[in-house]
Amino acid sequence: MSGTVVVRENGQGRYQQEVIAGQHRLIADEPASMGGSDAGPAPFDFVMAGLGACTSMTLRMYAERKELALRKVHVELSHHKVEVDGTMRDCIERRITLEGDLTPEQRQRLLEIANKCPIHRALSQSFQLDCELVD
């Protein structure tokens, strides 16, 4: 399971953030078109990266367990807004390429498994987000 992630301004740019996840250090920023300096991925890029990584890892674990001939997984994601019942909603499109000698049935099962990855399931339902100010 994931641990705690810390995000804090790093003083390097208008919106630039240091992201600390365990021993890993990353930079988040907004693109220049949004007033940032584009020094790192934007917040939605991190969300999509999490979904893409989880999808690929989940498929790899399943393929190994079932001894499927899955050679490679490629996940491409994009974000845009769509109108649903008169309300604008966020939409992430996820395109999965599977390489390997797989039957149509195995490919379909892998798509079903991709839709069961923990991040896909979390994003597909309403989160409970608890927020508080601390001293």
Decide if 74 is inside a domain: yes
- Which pLDDT belongs to residue 1? 57
Rounded CA separation 73/100 (Å) = 9
**Is residue 131 assigned to a domain?**
no
Q: Tally the domains of the chain.
A: 2
13 and 59 share a domain? no
Question: Could you tell me the two tokens for 14?
Answer: 């208008």
The answer to whether residues 18 and 25 touch, using CB atoms and an 8 Å cutoff, is yes
Task: Tell me, yes or no, whether 14 and 71 share the same domain.
Answer: no
* Same domain as 115, residue 54: yes
Does residue 104 fall inside a structural domain? yes
Query: Block means of pLDDT (10 residues each) for the chain, length 135 residues?
Result: 88 96 96 96 97 98 98 97 93 97 98 97 89 92
Same domain? 59 vs 86: yes
Q: Is residue 135 part of a domain?
A: no
Residue-number span of the structural domain to which 62 is assigned:
43-124
Q: Can you say whether the dihedral through the CA atoms of 21, 24, 25, 26 is positive or negative?
A: negative
Between CA 135 and CA 133 the distance in angstroms is 7
* Model pLDDT, residue 14: 96
Give CA–CA dist 129/41, Å, rounded: 23
Please indicate, yes or no, if residue 86 is contained in any of the structural domains: yes
Can you give the pLDDT at residue 105?
A: 98
Give residue 24's pLDDT: 96
Distance set, CA 96 to CA 59, 101, 131 (Å): 10, 16, 34
Give yes or no for a contact between 95 and 126, defined as CB atoms under 8 angstroms apart: no
Mean pLDDT of the chain: 95
> Residue 128: its pLDDT value, please?
86
27-56 residue pLDDT tens = 999 999 999 999 999 999 999 999 999 999
